[in-house]
Amino acid sequence: MNINTSSRGRVLAALAVGAVAVGMLAGCSGSDDGGGTDAPSSDTYTLWDPYPDRDASSDWAKVIDACAADLDITIDRNAGNTGDTVKDLTTAAPNLPDIALVDNPKVSTLAEAGLLTTTADNGLDVSNIEKNILSAGELDGDVYGVPVGANTLGLYYNPAVLEAAGVDIASVTDFASLTDALTKVVAAGKKGITFSAVGTEEGSFQFLPWFWGAGGDLTQLDSPEAVASLELWTNWVKDGLAPNSVLQNTQGTSWDEFLTGEYAFAENGSWFKGAADEAGYLSMQVPGIDGDVAAAPTGGEFITIPIQKDTARYATSVKIVECLTDGNTGADALGYVAPTAEGQAAQLEADPTLEGWITAVGDAKPRTADNLGTAYPIISEQLFTAVQNSLSGASTPADALAKAQTDAASKLP
């Protein structure tokens, strides 16, 4: 039975209290009863982002400061953990931030909870944004925010390791030829491939190119195509072509493994391009099962404008978003591929080595594609659980995905 994602009437239990609170506030007139934190002053605007690693000296922080100066306002920035965005925004009522950068698959969850304004409501222009990037922030025809840019996944490789094993990278065109290359590398005394199969959204993110590359559909987790993709990863681990550490690897620790110089391949993100250039590594798009290029998921954040009690604040919030996304300002500061064709062309002119990643972003698809919306987090949890169960040997790929399908269907309307 297919997973049913057509119903939009529900609000996730974890968000219900916050959604009701915001709805009540939207209908209230002004006075605060003193129970919450103090509202920001008229010339101070709050911005939440998920970049605690980018301190006040970072390019991103400097962009924010420049926008504040240009607009003659104060922007109070709070950098937190992106994994807490939904919880933090839900519990922030009655004083939501003016601006919130939200990981793209979480936009629909927050939108359904009634926490975000639409671009139609606030007046943000998204007409020139590339469709496959913008669609991650859509729910039932409405757009909730502007993508600051996009990143995606690819397959990095170490030319020296491949050459020593007698592998021509041009021969790696599908699942079978990639497995053959890994086998030759391991036989030559090196290591095959590393990636992240950790039991979190990060694991699903890394599995999706192989899942989609085999023809899998997120509404049918137990299809033959889905099973083929999980058999690929499972057999790599079982046959020693990928290490057992993939079960605990984050994308960061997987990259650290690749930097040892022992591995032929690593699946990882465009954000490691600079480090790869320094190490002499190259990259290609993830191959599909039959030789086509696999679609990888789009990563990156949307700059959203949450619901405010004082709707007069939206006008300046829009100016802040426009400043942060003017040209390639935000995308370049965060190391993202620009969300517009014009912006991508400018990036390519400045750095021709970005061509492969710009192409990969163009071929990518959002995790909430196919109108999955708020169903995606539920499906993803069952998917990364199935990956863990199969790679650990606790279940066969077919059985793990059959359970994932049943469990996901039981949690969706």
pLDDT in tens, the chain (413 residues): 444 443 333 333 333 333 333 332 233 323 333 333 445 557 999 999 999 989 999 999 999 999 999 999 999 999 976 556 777 888 876 789 999 999 999 999 999 999 999 999 999 999 999 999 999 999 989 999 999 999 999 999 999 999 999 999 999 999 999 999 999 999 999 999 999 999 999 999 999 999 999 999 999 999 999 999 999 999 999 999 999 999 999 999 999 999 999 999 999 999 999 999 999 999 999 999 999 999 999 999 999 999 999 999 999 999 999 999 998 999 999 999 999 999 999 999 999 999 999 999 999 999 998 889 889 999 999 999 999 999 999 999 999 999 999 999 999 98
Angle of helix 59-71 relative to helix 314-324, nearest 10 degrees? Answer: 140
| Residues 337, 154: Cα–Cα separation, whole Å | 14
Question: Superfamily for 13-151+299-363?
Answer: Periplasmic binding protein-like II (3.40.190.10)
pLDDT computed for residue 84 by the predictor? 66
Angle of helix 376-391 relative to helix 201-213, nearest 10 degrees? Answer: 80
Fold of 153-296+372-411: D-Maltodextrin-Binding Protein; domain 2 (3.40.190)
| Residues 69, 102: Cα–Cα separation, whole Å | 24
| Residues 5, 7: Cα–Cα separation, whole Å | 6
C-alpha 274, offset from chain centre: 19
Domain boundaries, the chain: 13-151+299-363, 153-296+372-411
| 3-state secondary structure (DSSP) of residue 67 | helix
pLDDT computed for residue 83 by the predictor? 55
Whether this model's pTM surpasses 0.75: yes
